[in-house]
Homo-oligomer: A and B are copies of this chain.
Amino acid sequence: MQLGALGMRAMRDRRAIMSITTGIVGAAGFAGVELTRVALRHPDLQLTVVTSNELAGVRVADEYPAFLGVTDLAYTTHDDPKLDECELVFLAVPHTAALAMAPRLVARGAVVIDLSADFRLKDPAVYEQWYKTPHTATDLLAQAAFGLPELFPDDLARVAARRAQGEGVLVGCAGCYPTATSLAAAPAIRAGMLADAGAVVVDAISGVTGAGKKATARTHYCFADENLEAYGVATHRHTPEIEQILGIEGRLVFTPHLAPLNRGLLSTVNIPLASGAPRTTEEAVEVYSEFYRNSAFVRVLPAGKMPKTSSVAGSNYAHIGVAVNDRAGVLIAVGAIDNIGKGAADQAMQCANIVLGLPETRALEPVAVPVG
């Protein structure tokens, strides 16, 4: 099928103002295809390369028919030389693959936004402990920014400044569970509300896109449908990342769960309260509202309301609800995101916007689909 005449014209109109050549490595996975969608609607980017070693030669629109008549791009392999011409490169590949590719791209001056786990953990020893492989780019790791804009704006600003001087830079974006969990936990913890002792218990639930595009028993419809289960109990690799973000090393009990939906991630964070901490839900809501007062993407719900993942599906928004259990002395903070949106592709684009000096919200304005 050919790109329709009108589709072509619309593409040309947009291309006129596009300037930043962009590539996505690992563009056929769930985060990669969402990045493709967002990049194609971004007025300042020109998407020129999408790679997938498995699907090289296949058109994006043949793998994902939603792109029929929207783009004629086809996947190429990860070593496509056109990547070398990209000013902006997203890496949506498994860990260790990003480790192998990022240094060269940064060295030649690209803005690299990495969605893998390779540049999240600041301590290479912790990386090796949890990922069972040594970190081979510790210099780059040291200068990389951590991609969670609401909690580490200065880190991204630092890298944006270097980029403004023409340097290649790297952002290691936060994982999906760490994003929802930390957005829900950070306001209380940074306000000193966490008790000195006691575990921070996080029980989080993810849709099946979180398990990846590979067809397995776990992702088979008939096993995921009408089922709930916990997985990676006491062993999930997002544990050290959350502990690092929140500064609660060794105190996190993190249990992820799988539920039968496509996109959506809900993280319920239980924070034992310090003796002097506020003990009413209303006070907690105020702390949170103040914290996110200027945030473009995080909404704090009023006391008595809790977030729904359907409210943020397909978007970069995060909704947060809080309540205090005064009898047990625990703050419950619940964060809802789209694991592929704010938890992956959309947050990566938000980071790219910031580093490139564009408005943070560029191409990310759409309201979530309110029903369905």
Contacts and interface: CB of A to CB of B under 8 A. Distances in A.
Interface of A: 1, 4-7, 10, 30, 33-34, 36-37, 40-41, 64-70, 198-199, 201, 203, 205, 207-209, 213, 215-217, 219-231, 233-234, 250-253, 255, 257, 259-266, 268, 270, 272, 281, 289, 292-296, 299-302, 306-315, 317, 319, 321, 323-330, 332, 334, 336, 340, 360-361, 365-372
A92 B257 CA distance: 31
Given A4-B296, A34-B370, A207-B226, 13 more contacts: A33-B370, A64-B311, A66-B317, A66-B369, A68-B317, A213-B222, A221-B224, A225-B262, A226-B263, A228-B259, A229-B336, A255-B268, A259-B260
Given A198-B199, A234-B324, A321-B233, A227 B371 contact: no
Contacts of A229: 266, 306-309, 336
Contacts of A296: 4, 6-7, 10
A137 to B, nearest CB: 27
A369 B110 CA distance: 28
A309 B219 contact: no
A313 B221 contact: no
Nearest to A227: B310
Given A199-B329, A228-B336, A234-B332, A37 B372 contact: no
Contact of A334 (B205, B230, B264): B230
| Copies of this chain | 4
A358 to B, nearest CB: 13
Contact of A4 (B64, B205, B294, B327): B294
Contacts of A30: 222, 371
A66 B368 contact: yes
Given A220-B219, A301-B1, A328-B252, A361 B264 contact: no
B230 A199 contact: no
A123 to B, nearest CB: 16
Nearest to A67: B367
A196 to B, nearest CB: 12
Nearest to A328: B199
A312 B69 CA distance: 12
11 contacts: A1-B289, A7-B296, A66-B312, A66-B370, A69-B317, A203-B255, A226-B262, A226-B310, A228-B264, A228-B265, A234-B332
Closest 5 pairs between A and B when the two form their complex, measured CB to CB: A262-B372, A203-B203, A6-B296, A215-B215, A227-B310
Contacts of A369: 34, 37, 66, 263, 314, 369
Contacts of A327: 250
A233 B5 CA distance: 29
Contacts of A228: 205, 207, 259, 261, 264-266, 308-309, 336
A299 B234 contact: no
Given A221-B221, A330-B199, A68 B319 contact: yes
Given A70-B367, A302-B1, A332-B253, A259 B259 contact: yes
